[in-house]
Structure 1
Amino acid sequence: MEASYMLAELIAKQKKPHTIAETLILPACKILAGVMLGPDAANELSKVPSSDNTIKRRIDDMSEDIEEHLAEKLQASGRFSLQIDESTDISGAAQLLANVRYVDADSIKETFLFCKEMESHTTGEEIFRVTNDYFKENSLTWNMCVGLCTDGAASMTGRVKGFIAKVRAQNPHIVTNHCILHREALVAKTMPPELTEVLNQAVQMVNYIKSRPLKSRLFSQLCAEMGADHQSLILHTEVRWLSRGKVLSRLYELREQLLEFSGENAVPHKDKLADERWCARLAYLADIFGHLNELNAKLQGRNENILSSTDKIRGFMGKLLLWQEALEQGSMDMFPLTSAAPQAAKERAVYAEHLQTLKERFEQYFPRVADIEDYDWIQDPFHQESSTEKLSMKEREECAELRVDRTLKLKFSELPLDQFWLASASEYPSISHHAIEQLLHFPTTYLCELAFSTLTYMKNNSRSRLSVEQDLRVALSSVPPRIKKICAPRQAHVSH
């Protein structure tokens, strides 16, 4: 029976259809065992239950165990933060996804919490009802939830009926955060009309080629014949706005091949490809979106905290000032494609206007980045310059003692930040509690984005009716199923 559960777990982790056990995995294993070990070994494998329904039941059992075990961990931790987002799947159903970050023994962990199909409109009230019901079912309270990260949708942020407002009514002390990735994308969307026009025209060119398979193949063939480094364009999608960086770079690199191709094809705005000033603007867009893409990539990933993410935003804002100064002095070294483009010098005013707009938008969407210095003591508690003025007297006293604790100083160089502060909790409980609470906050809804990608892959056209929560939990949870515990009270039955 354990083997059957392990097989089902593997299928869920690989996001495969349940039927693959009976149609591919077990037959393949029997062939290999028969060849390598003999017919008796192959016959023994036939005893492993592997039908479609069996695999589904195994996954459901493991999902239930993971959910129960995680609830126990959250109750034991006593505090956690939440990231939550909603999207629509391939069947048109709205799915609400949540991930959680919590203290588990000597470190901070983060994992999938739930995926619930929304039965009615995705209003803030409905999102709260679904989440609140889940909390009640798993003996969780809103007072345990110290932080909440969402996108900026009205259903989340509405003053009266928004999800955040409903949560604050339950826990007035909760800290809420608008996803940093989402804010960066909003910043990037604002640009002068001259650049907006070039961007829209470039996107139309790319989508004309990529949305027509025959045109796409012919274009690839032409690029190969002309010796281009790349032989295809990247399809632009509005869903992930900052994908434009790579799209524009590829278009700029292939502009000559596309101009040649457009001679016999109705590529929209094809005359622009021969316009050097238009190409200079395209080069700048490719460069600046490349930089924005790079920032976006740095902000993504697991275990990112609000302090390190804010530092990265501040660093980019500092680079914007540097680029503005360089542009005023006639240098465009920070924009390699632009600096090599003919006519780029004549477009300097357009570039300068856009950099100023970006600077203003970053200040608008990230108005309190300088406040992060108040938490420098978390990132380096042994730095004497780190301010502790906004801490309570008890916390300041503990911080003063900690700064001269040579044993902990050695640990600080050896341990990740969360583990260091948890290791300090017994001797310095107040300051450690404060530090951990800050590190618990999610800066982005990145894990929800990952889960949506997994959901889309699993719930494709051929499996659009699949109920995804159990499969998603086994696939994505960092809490492993306790298979021996699940099997203990059950009697193994052979099924086919």
Structure 2
Amino acid sequence: MDKKVKEQVISSIKSIPLSDTTAARRVDVLTTDVFDTLLNQLRKADFISLAVDESTDNSDVAQLCMFVRFFDGHCFKEDILGLIPLEGNTTGEILFQKIFDFFQENGLDLERINLLVTDGAPSMAGKIKGLSARLSALAPKMKSLYCLIHQNVLCPQLSGELKNTMDSVMATINFIRSTSSLQHRLFHKLLADMSAEHVDLLLHNNVRWLSQGNSLMRVCELRKEIITFLRECKHRKAETFLTNMLDDKFVSEMCFLCDILHHLNVLNLGLQGRDKTVADVVEMLTAFQNKLDIFSSDLSSRLLHFPTLSGFIKSSQSGKVTKVMSDFLDHLKHNFAQRFNDFDIPKELLHVVRNPFTSTPNTSPKAAEFLKLHGIDEGPLQLEMIEMQASCELKDVLQEKGCTELWTKHIVPEMFPNMKKLAMCVLTMFGSTYTCESSFSHMNAIKTDNRISLTNEHLHHCLRIAVTPYEPNFSRLAQSMKCHFSH
């Protein structure tokens, strides 16, 4: 056969699309391979942290997502453990039975779970019939944690006058953007004619609370253009919104909310992401609590941390800091202290893992109980800590490469067995259900309205391939495949 003709034939064959059966079978094979790798490593792990959350897919089927974090002997891994469909109710008993059966079927040990992180729903966190209470009966070493990101979001809930201010601003945005297409186009044109910094306002969605601060920031930056538009608008509601935008007290509160929500947004974004342990998250939350003290004193003095509010007060005649603002900061400090000071996992042990060179060998009764629960001998632990603190080499490693690499690459169990065990236990722990939440975004992107008939099994397989850190062993799989397969 002529070489050119041969190349054309090969190219034509390659362009033939795979059948749906072949594509599904290949996804199943790849999923099975990476899942077997995960299970083999999990069975060897000393500690397993579990993040569990539940959401519904596009066909209204409740899906229970489980993510696992563990140390595989070389590094810490986070991977989806399972996506379990829930056909009927989603009570604590049903959630527990599904997880129990999953562990039994795959040969996993529930007693190795050291932390369960949930979204705090009653079916998850109930003290008697919730998932965490039922699992604790079979996993006595397990601690339960209400997702720290969820708790952080609940702290700045608005009420009273500030809530009215926020609602009025959001109503103004909705009025300009959503009253009619014509009105929205006219606002676009006005911004272009006035050479505004932005081309539009941002809508706020309660589900995506971060957009609240961004929406406020945009309103503050386009305030002059909004006033001009509302003056020209002939709609009846425009007069009410214009009155608010010309009221210095209202705008002062709006600028204050813009600044404080910006600080909260920065914190929230810092808490999100993969490979964030409970020690990392608690450290950031503790730092923000200390920042709140600075914000309170700064609010009554120079406004260094409230640039939007400071700029408006300087440019207006009667803009000022009000008692409502200081009360909100006091309320915020109280909420953070109430939620995060009484932490179930001793903070001193988290600090020991993050920086063993600045920690004291003495432990509190709560820390001693935690160590005993996980089979860590407190006496030798104190002596090992003193020995570590005398090592200049290990101090340099911590400063240059961080605590994770210190414990995984430079400290072997034979050197400091109790310290190593404590570090592996703490660094295994999730700080939030972020991994579950992000996987739900993948799930909704996979099972769209156009793929509504996708089975639960295939959805699970597609999601695993999308989020797993493992790569299938393509060479071994290719050798074991049949060249000709009946369709």
Q: Shorter chain as normaliser: what TM range? A: 0.7 to 0.9
Aligned length: 458
Match of 2:439 in 1: 451
Deviations 1:349-374 (A, max 9, x none): 11111111101111111123695234
Write out per-residue CA displacement over residues 252-278 of structure 1, whole angstroms, 9 at most, x where no aligned residue. 222333333341446575232232221
**Residue identity matched to 2:460:** E
Counterpart Cα distance in 1 of 2:279 and 2:21:
46
Aligned residue in 1 for 2:208: 240
Name the amino acid aligned to 1:196.
K
Amino acid in the other structure paired with 1:333: L
Aligned to 1:291: 263
Where do 1:172-187 residues align within 5 Å? Answer: 172-187=140-155
Name the structure 1 match of 2:26: 58
Aligned 8 A contact 2:149 2:268 in 1: yes
**What is the match of residue 352 of structure 1?**
326
RMSD: 2.5
Report matched runs for 1:237-386 at 5 Å: 237-262=205-230, 263-265=233-235, 269-271=240-242, 272-328=244-300, 330-341=301-312, 342=316, 345-368=319-342, 371-383=346-358, 385-386=359-360
In structure 2, the partner of 1:45 is 14
| Cα distance per residue 1:434-471 (max 9 Å; x no partner) | 11101111111111111111112222222233232110
For normalisation by structure 1, the TM-score amounts to 0.86
1:395 equivalent in structure 2: 381
The 3-state SS of whatever aligns with 2:220 is helix
* Cα distance in 2 between the residues matched to 1:453 and 1:433: 35
1:207 is matched by which residue type in structure 2? N
Partner of 1:490: 481
Question: What displacement does 1:414 show?
Answer: 4.9
Greater displacement, 110-119 / 385-394: 385-394
What residue number does 2:374 align with? Answer: none
Rounded to whole Å, the distance in 2 between the matches of 1:148 and 1:344 is: 52
Letter in 1 for 2:398: F
- 1:111 and 2:65 are equivalent in the alignment: no
Report the more deviating stretch, 404-413 or 274-283: 404-413
- Structure 2 gap segments, 5+ residues each: 369-377
Are 1:473 and 2:445 matched, yes or no? Answer: no
Task: Find the aligned partners of 1:155 and 1:203 in 2 and give their Cα distance.
Answer: 33
- Structure 1 unaligned segments of length 5 or more: list them: 1-33
Matched letter for residue 52 of structure 2 = I
Q: Is 2:98 the partner of 1:130? A: yes
Q: Deviations over 1:148-206 (max 9, x none)?
A: 111111111112111111111111220111111101111011x3401001111222232
SS across alignment from 2:201: coil
Q: Could you tell me how far apart the structure 2 residues matched to 1:366 and 1:338 are? A: 29
Greater shift after overlay, 404-413 or 240-249? 404-413
Distance 2:122 2:35 in 1: 30
Distance between the aligned counterparts of 2:216 and 2:196, measured in 1?
16
Question: What is the aligned counterpart of 1:156 among 124, 149, 152?
Answer: 124
Q: How many Å apart are 1:83 and its aligned residue?
A: 0.7
In 2: Cα distance, 1:355 partner to 1:172 partner: 39
Structure 2 counterpart of 1:378, which letter? V
SS in structure 1 of the partner of residue 49 of structure 2: strand
Contact residue 280 and residue 343 of structure 1 kept, 8 A: no
3-state secondary structure, aligned to 2:322: helix
Specify whether residues 332 and 116 from structure 1 end up closer, same or farther in structure 2 by C-alpha distance, changes over 3 A only: same
Distance 1:495 1:220, change over 3 A: farther
Q: CA deviation at 1:248?
A: 1.1
Alpha-carbon spacing, 1:411–1:317, altered in 2? closer, same or farther (3 Å): closer
- Give the CA deviation at 1:55: 1.4
Identity level (%): 31
Specify the alignment match of 1:412 in structure 2.
Answer: 398
Moved more, 263-272 or 194-203: 263-272
Distance 2:247 2:49 in 1: 52
One-letter amino acid matched to 1:366: F
Q: Distance in 1 between matches of 2:119 and 2:87?
A: 21
Which residue in 2 is equivalent to 1:26? none
